Amino acid sequence: MAPGRLALLQTMPIFGALRDDALEVLLEGAPTLTRTRGEFYVREGDSAHSMYVIEHGAVEVLKRWEGREWSLHQLHAGDCFGEMALMDFFPRSASVRAVENTRAIEIATAALHRLAESDMEQFALIQMNMGREVVRRLRDADDRLFGAMMEAGGNAKRQV
């Protein structure tokens, strides 16, 4: 296994406090996927069986509305996407497209299952970390939604 991959995961909150052997289980057989500018990693509505860790480059997260794609935000090296798929087994909630040549590690649900079989404590830790990441993103989305509502004239339901 490339030492750089392990080092990258060790810097990310979603993999925080995981032991090296647990990270190696997740990376075992994990392919690296390269996309050129404009190519998609995932599309909104697709079935989901993996998450991605960006090694190099940048992607944008897109959401469809009224027949158009809207950019929600960008992610860069050291960020991840698709972790919700490993938690809820629902179809992709957004599309992710490379905005420059990008390389990402694909971590499949099968890797998480291998980790659960070999070390339930480490599996629980990564599940908690993924939950924290999803909550952090939810808080950010709430803040942006509230800001947009206030800019649009303060149409909040009730002022306290």
- What is the pLDDT, as a whole number, of residue 136? 92
pLDDT greater than 70 at residue 152: yes
Average pLDDT, the chain: 92
**Bridge-based pairing state of the strands 40-42 and 68-76:** unpaired
- pTM, two decimal places: 0.88
- What is the pLDDT, as a whole number, of residue 89? 83
pLDDT greater than 90 at residue 14: yes
pLDDT greater than 70 at residue 43: yes
- Per DSSP, what are the bridge partners of residue 54? 104
- What is the pLDDT, as a whole number, of residue 10? 93
Percent of residues, the chain, with pLDDT higher than 70: 95
pLDDT greater than 70 at residue 160: no
Confidence of residue 87 (pLDDT cuts 50, 70, 90): confident
Q: d(Cα 23, Cα 88) in Å, to the nearest integer?
A: 21
Phi, psi values for residue 83, rounded to 5°: -65, -25
Mean pLDDT (whole number) for 128-133? 94
Mean pLDDT (whole number) for 41-67? 96
User: Which 3-state string (H, E, C) describes the chain?
Assistant: CCHHHHHHHHCCHHHCCCCHHHHHHHHCCCCEEEECCCCEEECCCCCCCEEEEEEECEEEEEEEECCEEEEEEEEECCCEECHHHHHHCCCCCCEEEECCCEEEEEEEHHHHHHHHHHCHHHHHHHHHHHHHHHHHHHHHHHHHHHHHHHHCCCCCCCCC
Nearest to 99 by CA among 123, 72, 121: 72
The better pLDDT of the pair 81, 85 is held by 81
